[in-house]
Structure 1
Amino acid sequence: MIQMPQALHSETMKTTPAQGRRGADAARTAGSDSTDGTAPRGRSAAPAAGRCDANLHDIQNSRHEDARAQRRKEEKRKALGIESTMTVTGIDVSSAQSEKYPTAGSDFVFIKVTEGTTYTNPKWVAQRKTARNAGLVTGFYHFARPGPVTSQVDFFLSKINLIEGDILILDWEDARVPNSWKDSWLKQVQQRTPGHKTLLYCNRDFWLHRDTTSFAGDGLWIAQYNNKPGQPDIHSAWLFHQHTDRPIDTSIGKFEDKAALHTWSGHVAIPA
């Protein structure tokens, strides 16, 4: 049974109990005062040197804090059984989530924009701002419904002013949408948005029993809530694994680190 549109993961029933259901004004960088190295008139250079020492101390403390935070993250990931080579995590949001959702600990956010040719997530613009203000790689998805493919491609792309690094995603969950429709949507979006990565989102049941071509654009985003982050039960290549919906739909990316994700997506930081 398919629910009425609302939010990608909350708005649509899971296809099988085992499967999951289910986005830059870039990060601001802190500025620092500059100096020409000379002391102000009437003052000695010693206080300036003292300030430099204090700044260096602050930088070193910040690096130590970052290192400790990374160690804590790795310890948590190890406890969850996540492969050490996968350090990239993120969430996806729709109208079921707040416009200002938590971004701490996330490297990417995928945001629902449209469904069919009549529904638009009323929160998606604000949700995009939240993602970009946090400096996250951002993706946008369309929930497929029966009907002309090109009309849904037009509807989806008409909503977004793309910037470099934006990822475009098809959410394939409606059993009335065939494999050929899925392939056509992905190919049309690829042709019309050169330079942008495209993904297919579907659950394990759709991938194993409804897909017939193994075509997923530039990568498969597979949903399976199996308590094994980064270990979906499929033999095909995948790029993202949505492994839980608690407390929010969460995925792990098959990337060595955040820098690798940025390189793959073409993400660039845009000054706010």
Structure 2
Amino acid sequence: MESTPRTSLRALLAGVLVTAMVAAPTPASAQPLAHPQDDYAGSQIAKHEGTGGGPLLDVRANDDVLGLDVASYQGTVDWAAVARNGGKFAYSKATEGITYTNPSFGQQYNGSYAAGLTHGAYHFALPDVSDGATQANFFVDHGGAWSRDGRTLPPALDIEYNPYGDTCYKLTPEQMTAWVKAFSDQIWYRTGVPPTIYTSYTWWTKCTGNSTVVSRNPLWIPRYGTDVGTLPGGWTTQAIWQFADKGTFPGDQNRFNGNGDRLRSFTLG
């Protein structure tokens, strides 16, 4: 039987729709990330700013507690060994953008806690794939929650050089500042505590204009050497200093700005 004009038109429209669906590009925010396993706190800092090359901090200098940060790059961590070697706290990467979750996060986050460490989660920001609140929600929903148990660090935002392109993610300083504030506000709303901000002085100055918009949040500063250097964005002190990208513990080496009692106070918000 020959198709009626109406039937032919319907078939033609259906074919056009299918063709359009096939040809439509996948939104950037939904595309798989090329190398999230290589993106971790400080990966781009070391690449763009170096690792110092000089003498490292004397970790025995005072009673500040020592810790580490890890990501899928470290895989399964021997947390009992970390504890024996003096590790007291650990941040583990939970998420990146709005599509990636660390496959080793459960072992790292729960394992560090079971070994007696204070644990926390961080998010690797990609401000060019979604707004700040959306990434904050993705983070909280996939490991970035917080509990007032005295052994959980505030959720942390890792915001640094873009591992996939433009240093500042093609955002102006005003846009980047608004993005960070939106992320921070949503984390605060969802968890009850402001997130720790991981960033370097150089990146923060270049990409936010050295904004002070989140200067009330705790600062986690990467600087490899014997001192923290100049702090960005109105901060007068750091909560955590990432002082080396290798050392006694797996992953990066960190020093909390205080002793064990002060660390516990920090976890209580």
Residue 213 of structure 1 deviates from its aligned partner by 2.2
Could you tell which deviates more after superposition, 183-192 or 95-104?
A: 95-104
- Aligned 8 A contact 2:246 2:252 in 1: yes
Residue 128 of structure 1 deviates from its aligned partner by 1.1
Q: What is the aligned residue count? A: 203
Distance change >3 Å, CA 263–CA 250, structure 1 → 2: same
Task: State the AA in 1 paired with 2:198.
Answer: Y
Residue matched to 1:17: 49
The 2-side partners of 1:11 and 1:263 are apart by 26
Residue 151 of structure 1 deviates from its aligned partner by 1.6
- Aligned 8 A contact 1:142 1:170 in 2: yes
What per-residue deviation string (whole Å, max 9, x for no partner) do you get for residues 185-214 of structure 1? 1121112211x4520001231233333322
- Aligned 8 A contact 1:5 1:11 in 2: no
Q: Does 1:208 align with 2:205?
A: yes
Flag the structure with higher helix content: 2
Distance change >3 Å, CA 192–CA 94, structure 1 → 2: same
Q: How well do the aligned residues superpose, as a CA RMSD in angstroms?
A: 2.7
What per-residue deviation string (whole Å, max 9, x for no partner) do you get for residues 152-198 of structure 1? 1111111135432432000001321622211221121112211x452
SS in 1 for 2:40: helix
The 1-side partners of 2:123 and 2:106 are apart by 14
Q: Using CA pairs below 8 Å that are at least 6 residues apart, which structure has the higher relative contact order?
A: 1
Task: State the AA in 2 paired with 1:87.
Answer: D
Task: State the AA in 1 paired with 2:246.
Answer: R
Percent identity of paired positions between Structure 1 and Structure 2: 25
Residue matched to 2:253: 250
The 1-side partners of 2:73 and 2:108 are apart by 11
The 2-side partners of 1:11 and 1:242 are apart by 8
Q: Does 1:185 align with 2:183?
A: yes
Please show how residues 2-41 of structure 1 align to structure 2 within 5 Å. Answer: 4-9=35-40, 12-14=43-45, 16-18=48-50
The runs of at least 4 aligned residues of structure 1 exceeding 4 Å deviation read none
Task: State the AA in 2 paired with 1:163.
Answer: S
Distance change >3 Å, CA 180–CA 224, structure 1 → 2: same
Residue 116 of structure 1 deviates from its aligned partner by 0.4
Taking structure 2 as the reference length, what is the TM-score of the superposition? 0.67
Q: Does 1:163 align with 2:163?
A: no
- Aligned 8 A contact 1:220 1:239 in 2: yes
The 2-side partners of 1:8 and 1:186 are apart by 21
- Aligned 8 A contact 1:183 1:216 in 2: no
Task: State the AA in 2 paired with 1:254.
Answer: N
Q: Does 1:128 align with 2:116?
A: no
Q: Does 1:232 align with 2:220?
A: no
- Aligned 8 A contact 1:200 1:216 in 2: no
Task: State the AA in 2 paired with 1:172.
Answer: I
Residue matched to 2:87: 106
Please show how residues 48-197 of structure 1 align to structure 2 within 5 Å. Answer: 80=58, 83-84=61-62, 86-101=63-78, 102-104=81-83, 105-145=86-126, 146=128, 147-160=130-143, 162-164=146-148, 165=150, 166=152, 167-173=154-160, 174=162, 175-176=168-169, 178-194=176-192, 196-197=193-194
What per-residue deviation string (whole Å, max 9, x for no partner) do you get for residues 5-63 of structure 1? 1144389433623369xxxxxxxxxxxxxxxxxxxxxxxxxxxxxxxxxxxxxxxxxxx
Residue matched to 1:43: none
SS in 2 for 1:6: helix
Task: State the AA in 2 paired with 1:233.
Answer: G
The 2-side partners of 1:217 and 1:198 are apart by 10
What per-residue deviation string (whole Å, max 9, x for no partner) do you get for residues 125-145 of structure 1? 111121111221111111111
Task: State the AA in 1 paired with 2:90.
Answer: V
Distance change >3 Å, CA 110–CA 7, structure 1 → 2: farther
SS in 2 for 1:205: helix
- Aligned 8 A contact 1:93 1:111 in 2: yes
Task: State the AA in 1 paired with 2:105.
Answer: W
Unpaired segments ≥5 residues, structure 2:
1-32, 163-167
The 2-side partners of 1:171 and 1:10 are apart by 6
Unpaired segments ≥5 residues, structure 1:
21-76, 268-272
Distance change >3 Å, CA 10–CA 144, structure 1 → 2: closer
- Aligned 8 A contact 1:90 1:252 in 2: yes
